[in-house]
Amino acid sequence: MEIPTSIALVSSVQVAKFRKPLRRKKAMAKPARRRCNRKREDLTVKRIFELLSFDKSTGVFRWKVPTQGRIALNSVAGAFDSNGYSMIMIDGRRYKTHVLVFYITHNRWPAGQIDHVNGIRTDNRPENLRECLPIENSRNIRIRKNSKSGCRGVTWHKRQKKWNVRLGFHGKSKHFGCFDDLELAVLVAEEARDKYYGDFSGNERSTYANLSKEM
């Protein structure tokens, strides 16, 4: 049975009168994070040793004072960030562990960056840390796990089917040739890195040696 058009219009109008308008829920504002106004220079060596003990042989800090029940006495201080560096929270401010080690060792904050000599970011022993420029720090990066050559600066050229040796120096890319033999390419790359990068050439020999044993 069909409903007359006039009746249908009236009923729809009546329903509209009694229908309550939908209220949109207001989004809850997220609480603003409290910023720490404390400067790095405000932290003293004395304050660090009030809270932490340090083992030079391992490069590890431990808590002397438990904090709000979350940190146990003598537990290892610090948590790793997304880049694999240990970070320690002191008086509301986060500090990189290796920077703190440099600070308590030399009694001053580093003017530049801190490089891990052996490339291991978790090894914060004083002898494994050295002050450097950003460009020097970038040269001493460990070889990638997916590297086919096992040596930084040596890549496989698919078209030529040879090992390509190329290094960056002063913002430019310098080519050192293509080689059929991987061992020769690695030797050329290491000599070039020693010549142009000096103490920050990195240690690729052991990486290549381990890779060659598995091949």
Q: Residue range 140-148: average pLDDT?
A: 73
Q: Residue range 9-31: average pLDDT?
A: 54
Sheet containing strand 86-90, edge to edge, reads 79-80, 86-90, 93-96
| Residue ranges matching CATH 3.30.730.10 in the chain | 142-214
Of 78-87, 100-109, 130-139, 202-211, the one with minimum mean pLDDT is: 202-211
% of the chain at pLDDT higher than 90: 43
- The domain made up of 41-132 has a fold known as Homing Intron 3 (I-Ppo) Encoded Endonuclease; Chain A (3.90.75)
% of the chain at pLDDT higher than 70: 73
Domain 142-214 has CATH 1.10.3720.10: no
Q: Is the pLDDT of residue 31 over 60?
A: no
* Confidence at 6, pLDDT banded by 50, 70, 90: low
Q: Which residue has the higher pLDDT, 10 or 78?
A: 78
Q: Is the pLDDT of residue 111 over 90?
A: yes
**Locate tokens 């069909």: which residue?**
2
* Confidence at 105, pLDDT banded by 50, 70, 90: very high
Q: Residue range 136-146: average pLDDT?
A: 72
Q: Residue range 96-122: average pLDDT?
A: 94
The SS3 call for residue 137 is helix
**What one-character DSSP code corresponds to residue 20?**
P
- Helix orientation angle between 205-214 and 182-197, rounded to the nearest 10 degrees: 170
Is the Cβ–Cβ distance between 173 and 165 less than 8 Å? no
Is the Cβ–Cβ distance between 201 and 190 less than 8 Å? yes
Token pair recorded at residue 81:
């960030």
**CA separation for the pair 129, 3 (Å, rounded):** 87
* Confidence at 88, pLDDT banded by 50, 70, 90: very high
Q: Is the pLDDT of residue 205 over 50?
A: no
pLDDT tens per residue across span 150-200: 888 898 998 889 999 988 877 788 889 999 999 999 999 888 888 877 777
| Residue ranges matching CATH 3.90.75.20 in the chain | 41-132
* Predicted TM-score (pTM) of this structure: 0.64
